[in-house]
Structure 1
Amino acid sequence: MDEAIDEEVPQSDLVHERLRESPIKRWILLDGNRFALATLLSVVVFSVCTGIGFAGYIPVTDPATATTLVGAIVGGTLPFITIVLAINQLVLSQEMGWPNDLQDRFEGMVSFRRQVETVTGSGISPASPADFLQVIVDAVVDRARAFRSTVDPNEDTRLVSLTENLVDAVESEGELVNDALEGADFGTFNALSSVLGHFNGAHLYAARTIRADHGDELSEEAHDALDDLIELLGHLAVARQTFKTLYMQHELAYLSKLLLYVGFPTLLGGGVFMMTYDRIIEAIAEPALVVVVGAAVTFVFLPFVVLLVYTLRIATITSRTADFGPFVPRVDLDE
């Protein structure tokens, strides 16, 4: 079920989530350190296991019960090898290519940068993703303000109202994005995160609607400013999708490596635990056995936790950048 929309936020400024969402929710889904989140989930797993154990629902003195539980989780870890291979194959399919394909890809990126440099007048555009986005966002805000300055307040009331709504939305989101980009000089994800949920296709739709419905009322200067704004919004959408692709490739490759790092020790540790638990029972008291079993279950559960926290962020990014170009899903633009 869709969440209720914040009445103070226009629907045209939304994609799938409110811009004023819970900071805790955004930290869990996007901005939070994945290692910190994995640690937090592991603590939850350990607390649940030890809580059930101390309540007497896990007969820790019965070696068959504990070893069966750990063995089942270890058995579920083995398919991770297939997952890692599938992830690597996906990443490699995007990276590999013949010279003509790679040359076309390179020329496409160079051509896009030149188009941005031409319309923004920025000379050589920055190589850093965050700085590159900063240039486009600043240019979008400048063109929106320039367009507003060319519209006569005494013109058609509908035109003035549409212009004010569009420029106010662009200025508001530009301020939010600029604040986020200040601390995102080097991280591709930080740069991508700053524009998630902002500058979606609704702005492009609004600008094109003004040009189509009120083009006869606009001066040549207003036409030029509006055309530049529409072009820049398109460039911003392409840049966001490009950085999303780069981030996904990096994140998937890193995830596959991390799963191997975590998966091998958990398989080994789970096997050692199952072979030695009979001796462990004889060596320590029952309360300590609860802690040992809880720690063992948490340890062998680590690959699932790692997969969860990284896949959660990847899926969230994918859903929040689904409005590529002029299409804006699940938004009532008529309002």
Structure 2
Amino acid sequence: MAEGGDGREGGGRSLADGDLRITDRVRRSRVVKWLLFTGDRSVVAVVLLGGVLASFVLLALARPVDIEQLLSETTTLQDLFLALLRGAILVVSIVTSISSIVLSAEIADITTEEERVDASLEFRRRAEEMIEAEVSPGRPADFLQTILHTVYTQTLRLQSAAMASDDEAFRTEVEAFADDVLTDAKVTAETLDGAQFGTFRVLSAGLHYDYSWQLNTARRLEQQYDESLTDSQRAALSDLIDTLKFFGTGREYFQSLYYKREMARLSSSLLYVSLPVIVFISYLILALDGNIIPNARIGRLSTLSVFVLFAYTVSLAPYVVLTAHVIRLAAVTLRTLSAGPFILRPRPQHDVVDVEVEPDPNQWDRPEEANDRNRPEETDNRSQPEAGEPDHSGAGDRGADVRSGISDDSDSDESGADPQ
């Protein structure tokens, strides 16, 4: 298999130079990070609505629209708000469906609930054996932090055992691998310190910690250097692999709980917003038809225009609330997407512990194709029969057989013919 060389590329860059640090994996501006991850969803929704209203006001100032003429000559505004009213009612039905899905996963018989509790307790018992503790922490953040501390100590043990190896390639790869794991584990544990479940700090550990790559690399090191590993080195790799699997299982479980809580919050927020919006839009349609909204001038805009712009912004509130929640769920899913030992995140080219596919698929051959390509060319040394000599080749025999068959058929026809 093709390796990444000695871990350096152009100018002596190495894995330990910091290119793979977890602080670089979520390199975003503060505004984008707040919008997608850390910001309270209610505040994000209000900010988005404020941006929508400001955009409408700027457009109205740049290209004013005669709202009074639209109301007197057309039904455009009424039709627009009627469509928004239908959409708000549809959102309520969507909320009901979401709530049903969330509740259906929680409603179960007593046997199923007992199996869930037993599975959780068994998982914690196995974790306690691994971390050598009597009882594992009950809070998700503390539990993951304890697992990360175990990963940290086991990586140090692997690093120390690898230094005694006579294989220079093994020592180099383990040193680079251990440097990345130690940094990731420490920074992620610091992120989890004091975090409460339900807050984004717990889930942010999933954004940072690339356990899939670490698990894949540890397994590859175990298999590639299996013949030269000592008992202590093999035990250190095996323990680290088991602990990484525990961390991945726990992280995915807590992530699923976070998604359930976020969906429940989304459902309640949409209900709180949609019902007042439905009432407001209904009254607005009646007010527009009755021409009871006063029309005065406020600078370059009329009070009627300002009211319509404000009403349209309020009508978009359910969709903005939905957007505020969905963009975070989508961003978190993309950043925490993992498939066990399969690496879904791109790794730099100078990563010394990455593995490439070999050989090239264009060189894949079927067995018969490979045999035909490797077989030396054979020349036909069979001599041709001289003129007048009998042909003893298979072709001559086949020709004789054919002629014999024709002759027999002729004799048969003649013998079977009626006398004239």
TM-score, normalised on structure 2? 0.72
CA distances 1:3-35 after superposition (whole Å, capped 9, x unpaired): xxxx97657x89xx9343444333222222212
CA distances 1:68-124 after superposition (whole Å, capped 9, x unpaired): 332222222221122112211211221111222211111111111111111011321
Match of 1:317 in 2: 332
One-letter code of the match for 2:122?
A: S
SS of the aligned residue for 1:320 comes to helix
Superposition map of 1:183-198 within 5 A: 183-187=194-198, 189-198=200-209
Match of 1:239 in 2: 250
Match of 2:355 in 1: 334
Q: For residues 18 and 93 of structure 2, what CA distance do their matches in structure 1 show?
A: 44
Superposition map of 1:208-287 within 5 A: 208-277=219-288, 278-285=290-297, 286-287=301-302
Say whether the 8 Å CA contact 1:28–1:37 is kept in structure 2.
yes
| Pair 1:39-2:46 in alignment | yes
1:159 pairs with one of 170, 173, 178: 170
Q: CA deviation at 1:162?
A: 1.4
CA distances 1:192-247 after superposition (whole Å, capped 9, x unpaired): 22222413311001101111111333332222222111111101111111011111
Percent of pairs with identical residues: 29
Q: For residues 224 and 311 of structure 2, what CA distance do their matches in structure 1 show?
A: 67
| Pair 1:54-2:64 in alignment | no
Q: For residues 136 and 332 of structure 2, what CA distance do their matches in structure 1 show?
A: 25
Question: Does 159-168 or 18-27 show the bigger shift?
Answer: 18-27
Match of 2:182 in 1: 171
Q: For residues 50 and 164 of structure 2, what CA distance do their matches in structure 1 show?
A: 60
Say whether the 8 Å CA contact 1:192–1:244 is kept in structure 2.
yes
Match of 1:298 in 2: 313
SS of the aligned residue for 1:79 comes to helix
TM-align CA RMSD: 2.3
Say whether the 8 Å CA contact 2:203–2:255 is kept in structure 1.
yes
Match of 1:289 in 2: 304
One-letter code of the match for 1:72?
A: A
CA 1:316–1:274 in structure 2 vs 1: closer, same or farther (change >3 Å)?
same
Q: For residues 196 and 231 of structure 2, what CA distance do their matches in structure 1 show?
A: 38
Q: CA deviation at 1:308?
A: 0.4
Q: For residues 199 and 47 of structure 2, what CA distance do their matches in structure 1 show?
A: 25
SS of the aligned residue for 1:227 comes to helix
Structure with greater helix percent: 1
SS of the aligned residue for 1:111 comes to helix
Q: CA deviation at 1:180?
A: 1.4
Say whether the 8 Å CA contact 1:237–1:324 is kept in structure 2.
no
Higher relative contact order (CA 8 A, sep 6+): 1
Q: For residues 301 and 227 of structure 1, what CA distance do their matches in structure 2 show?
A: 55
Structure 2 residue runs of 5 or longer lacking an equivalent are 1-14, 348-353, 357-420
* Larger-Rg structure: 2
Q: CA deviation at 1:309?
A: 0.8
Match of 1:18 in 2: 25
Q: For residues 227 and 188 of structure 1, what CA distance do their matches in structure 2 show?
A: 33
1:203 pairs with one of 214, 218, 228: 214
CA 1:60–1:179 in structure 2 vs 1: closer, same or farther (change >3 Å)?
farther
**How many residue pairs get matched?**
326
One-letter code of the match for 1:121?
A: E
Say whether the 8 Å CA contact 2:149–2:185 is kept in structure 1.
yes
Q: For residues 175 and 86 of structure 1, what CA distance do their matches in structure 2 show?
A: 41
